[in-house]
Amino acid sequence: MVPGHAGDEPPGWYIEDSGSGMIYKRGRLLGQGTFGRCYRVTEVTTGRVYALKVVPRAGLAAVGTGDRVEREQELHRQLSHRHIVRLHRHFTHRGHLCLLLELCSRGSLADILRARGRLGEPEVRFYLRQVISGLRYLHGHGLVHRDLKLSNFLVTEEMQVKIGDLGLARGAAPPGRRWGALCGTPSHLAPEVLDRRGHGVPSDIWALGCALYTALTGRPPFEGSQRLELYQHIRGARYPLPPQLSPQARALLALMLDPDPAARPSLQDVLDHPFFTQGFTPHRLPPRACHSVPVFLGRDPLCRLLRGLQCCWGGGCAPGTPGGPSPPPPGKQLPRQDPSQANIGGGKPLLVLGTV
């Protein structure tokens, strides 16, 4: 096999974990995570596939980053939950730290949203329930994620969602104190995080509200041509409400995007909200929901027949048809940028070290 070497990537088609003796064949580049590139890899002896995050050691020498990656592994290795991506092991290879993570073969919810434009309320409930289950586990272990966004919600072959990239996760601050570092993704930063009043559980609820809004509308709630403008919109909790949102969705968003962190709902409150309790949530989603609008049918014979026909047609409602998405509304209230440039994954995380 011809060894390859591109830029700062580790050279070679094969990556060896000298500790365990395991060899991994490097596959395609999946994308860029918080601290490094991520590849699909195959364990040569077993054929198992993983996502391998490769972080250059040189990058780790940057102020504080080494500690943070150490902390990510420390935290992550102790976690085991069906809606949290698993960290199988880590090792170093030719000056690179390699994290062997669970592969979620259908990519992220941001990828799905890019293909779909926006998602329907039933499927958003389906995905969000699973994210909330994983997040309850994290919060229950005294951890806040600090970078919740659609590109960190990964979808498995079986259409299950897992929270990934715990790169910024951190233990909740001791009572009476809050972590004051400005980190996370600019468009999803809560007002108290911007004002360095710290990042606690309510700041994760805010970011989850931003992800919910983005999934339902195809746009993040807060945008701005410049950072300052974005931050003004966040501080004032000023976001447009497109007409296609149900009254329940609007009401839940208003609670989650409350500028006062103490007034925001808990995860249990979110699950108990009419958006969840009054609306239909499918038990599973067909994989074609990654590309086209799923149609949910009941179990009676007519529905079964329709389901069969739907398979023949390829499924889905066209935009504008009953059950399908309504055409995008004209721009309202706040000026919007070009939709193709919309920051639906949440964008790159921002990190300014320092605590208050």
The answer to the question of residue 144 lying near ligand 9ZP (CB under 6 A) is no
Two tokens, residue 331: 């721009």
Q: Is 258 a catalytic residue?
A: no
Task: Give me the least distance between CB of 211 and ligand 9ZP, in Å please.
Answer: 15
The answer to the question of residue 52 lying near ligand 9ZP (CB under 6 A) is no
Of 51 and 342, nearer to ligand 9ZP (C-beta) is: 51
Task: Give me the least distance between CB of 284 and ligand 9ZP, in Å please.
Answer: 20
Two tokens, residue 163: 């929270």
Among 15, 24, 33, 98, binds ligand 9ZP (CB under 6 A): 33
Among 24, 26, 41, 53, binds ligand 9ZP (CB under 6 A): 53
Q: Would you call 106 helix, strand, or coil by DSSP?
A: coil
Contact track, ligand 9ZP, 146-165, x by CB under 6 A: --------x---------xx
Q: Which of 106, 338, 326 is nearest to 219 (CA)?
A: 338
The answer to the question of residue 138 lying near ligand 9ZP (CB under 6 A) is no
Task: Give me the least distance between CB of 144 and ligand 9ZP, in Å please.
Answer: 17
Indicate the angle between helix axes 201-217 and 109-116, nearest 10 degrees: 30
Of 104 and 256, nearer to ligand 9ZP (C-beta) is: 104
What Å distances lie between residue 180 and 108, 146, 165, 258, CA to CA?
Answer: 29, 12, 20, 20
Of 111 and 123, nearer to ligand 9ZP (C-beta) is: 111
Of 185 and 310, nearer to ligand 9ZP (C-beta) is: 185
Q: Which residue is nearest to ligand 9ZP (CB)?
A: 31
The answer to the question of residue 15 lying near ligand 9ZP (CB under 6 A) is no
Among 111, 121, 147, 192, binds ligand 9ZP (CB under 6 A): 111
Question: Residue 84 gets which letter from DSSP?
Answer: B
The answer to the question of residue 104 lying near ligand 9ZP (CB under 6 A) is yes
Of 127 and 275, nearer to ligand 9ZP (C-beta) is: 127
Task: Give me the least distance between CB of 332 and ligand 9ZP, in Å please.
Answer: 30
The answer to the question of residue 97 lying near ligand 9ZP (CB under 6 A) is no
Q: Which residue has the tokens 């509308």?
A: 217
Question: Residue 51 gets which letter from DSSP?
Answer: E
Q: Which of 169, 165, 163, 195 is nearest to 259 (CA)?
A: 195
Question: Residue 343 gets which letter from DSSP?
Answer: -
**Element holding 352 (H helix, E strand):** strand 350-352
Residue 315 contacts residue 134 (beta carbons within 8 Å) = no
Among 60, 75, 85, 193, binds ligand 9ZP (CB under 6 A): 85
Which alpha helices (H) appear in 167-273, and where do they start and end? 191-194, 201-217, 227-235, 247-256, 267-272
Q: From the candidates 147, 165, 204, 258, give the one annotated as an active-site residue.
A: 147
Q: Which residue has the tokens 């931050």?
A: 231
Please give the Cα distance from 139 to 209 (Å, whole number).
Answer: 16
Phi-psi region of 316 (alpha: psi -120 to 50; beta: other; left: phi over 0): left
Tell me which residues are annotated as active site: 147
**Would you tell me which residues interact with ligand 9ZP (CB under 6 A)?**
30-33, 38, 40, 51, 53, 85, 101, 103-105, 107-108, 111, 154, 164-165
